[in-house]
Amino acid sequence: MASTSASEKPSVSNVEENRSRLCSEFAAITGADSAVAQCYLVENEWEMQKAMNSFFEADLENVFAEDMSEDSESSSKRKRQKMEEKPPAECIDLTGESPVSTRKPSEEDDHKLSLISWNVDGLDTDNIGERARGLCSYLVLYTPDVVFLQELIPPYVLYLKKRAVSYLLIEGGEEGYFTGIMLKKSRVKFVESEKVTFPTTQMMRNLLVAQVTFKGQKLCLMTSHLESCKAQAGERMKQLRVAMQRMREAPDDVTVLFGGDTNLRDTEVAKVGLPPQVSDVWERLGKQEHCRYTWDTKANSNKALPYVSRCRFDRVYIRPATKEGVPRLAPDHMALLGLEKLDCGRFTSDHWGIYCSFIAA
């Protein structure tokens, strides 16, 4: 795959262009930020007048505030069970398919697999309602088939289940903080999932694995939040070995995608080594400089740190299917998400998100 220079702006579909234009117009008229604009436009089927009318009548923050107030364990479990059975009637899907355009996607676009991986920093509860809506706004714009999330907390999960009902959300835990995988129901068929324990973790970390099918292709999706901090390099490399072993041992008719907040340094990856056929998506796409740093305290002010740190903590790896006659997915495009501040003056997360797309090679 030929590399793309940082100066080249990725092309976007007509749908994305139209959505962006409507959001800009809504924001210019109402004074709202882009995340709020996208939420109201989707809620009102991208009809500008209806969206503006509802803008002054609703307060989406109340939805998240109610979830945050549910601190009883039994109440939380009841809410989760109810939502898993059937989304409440009052739920508004902020991530559904948009009627903004009736054009039929090209065959190439239809068969592309898209993925977002993001540490959403749920442990930071400041402005968490607006930041959660910020995440939903990117789900609206990019409509990814698969989403890897790290640092989820139970109220964040409840919010996503209310507002992203076009996705199936698989949770990597129930208490504290954990990972999750979201699957676009109209595009990805869920088969089964499992949680793989990291036996010596000190930070509640594990490997969340989901077996799915996409356009008839078998996929193994894996996400994790590997052990944090420089001093935990040994444990982090142990966890990476577990993930790489899973990638290596997957059947040859299965494509494996592993991504998340890995906290990895390049020297640690070199020590562990990648199995044959496994590659780093960022490296495969030419190591584009504008996608290098996903943790960047120079540009991201969510954490008030007295030093500058720029690291490629968030990564995506692929091991294509190798069986003859089975489509081989290859990386096609990568971009960073969440680079714009929300109306609250903060970013969606202290990490940038990663957007990737894959095509049949």
Strand ranges (DSSP E) for the chain?
Answer: 113-119, 146-152, 167-171, 178-184, 188-197, 206-214, 217-225, 254-261, 279-280, 295-296, 310-311, 314-319, 329-337, 353-360
Distance CA 47, CA 40 (A): 9
- Tokens representing 316? 């995506």
Known active-site residue 261? yes
Helical (H) or strand (E) element with 138: helix 128-142
Give me the amino acid identity at 353: G
Distance CA 49, CA 26 (A): 9
Active-site residue, from 67, 261, 296, 350:
261
Residues 6/288, Cβ–Cβ less than 8 Å: yes
**In 10 A of CB 107, how many CB atoms?**
8
List, by residue number, the catalytic residues: 261
